[in-house]
Amino acid sequence: MNVWFGTVLVLLLVVAQAKWQHAIAQPLPAPIGGLTQPAELPPLPYAYDALEPYIDAETMRLHHDAHHAAYVNNLNEAVQKHPELQGQTVEALLGNLEALPEDVRTAIRNNGGGHLNHTMFWQIMKPDGGGEPTGAIATVIEENFGGFETFKEQFNQAGVDRFGSGWVWLVRNTAGQFEIITTPNQDSPVMEGAYPIMGNDVWEHAYYLTYRNRRPEYLSNWWNVINWDEINRRLAAAT
């Protein structure tokens, strides 16, 4: 009986490993950040108060040092339970959620998404940012949305309409088209095979200390800190 049980257990482990290896061999979106395991909290590329008055220092401190740090720690704890997952990029993990062991799938979805989303979020903002888009992203916006003002209106409205917590994105989808989408919670567009060009966090912890329940005002002011150079870099990687 013990020999039989041991044989079955070995077979199950072999099948699980084969399933994962097959999954990671499938086409994935172009690398977003190459975020490998173990996950690390990236430093903010500017001071906590650098985005004031649009995003206050205390919000940035809590958002980065508490919320993002928790996603990193929880993601590492989940991945450490399964050696076969270690060393994979966060993008690969999120792009093949169904292949993940069930006991850590939700934790990786939530915390891997949170880590990936926020790593991008800090990069696409900068002090003295904003203004009209330049370069390739300006062309994408003009050709797909009819101009920057129309794009901003559609992007902001999508963020307002996102019920509860989540994100609003500009993505390049699996058909190669550019579109505005939203995702709930910490879900990443990578989970659907899309490439996030830019995104704004509409969780309340991203804005509540300054804006309280005025999400539309936060969304409108966010354009004053946007980093078009970084967004153009991401666009180049997506195309």
Domains of the chain: 135-238 (3.55.40.20)
Q: Is the peptide bond before 38 cis (omega within 30 degrees of 0)?
A: yes
pLDDT at 27 over 70: no
Lowest mean pLDDT among 17-31, 43-57, 73-87, 165-179: 17-31
Q: What average pLDDT does the segment 197-207 reach? A: 98
Give CA 56 to chain center in angstroms: 22
Give the separation between CA 18 and CA 103, rounded to whole angstroms: 18
Least confident span in 14-18, 117-121, 139-143: 14-18
Beta bridge partners of 170: 180, 198
- Of 33-47, 153-167, 172-186, least confident by mean pLDDT is 33-47
Assign 139 to helix, strand or coil. helix
Q: What is the pLDDT of residue 19?
A: 44
Instruction: For residues 15 and 48, give the distance between their C-alpha atoms in angstroms, rounded to a whole number.
Output: 48
Percent of the chain with pLDDT over 70: 85
Q: Which of 52, 230, 208 is nearest to 127 (CA)?
A: 52
Report the distance separating Cα 234 and Cα 224, nearest Å.
19
Q: Give the mean model confidence (pLDDT) for residues 162-187.
A: 98
pTM: 0.86
**Residues 42, 33: Cα–Cα separation, whole Å:** 11
Within 55-147, where are the H helices? 57-62, 69-80, 90-95, 102-123, 135-145
Residue that is written with structure tokens 């500017």 in the block: 46
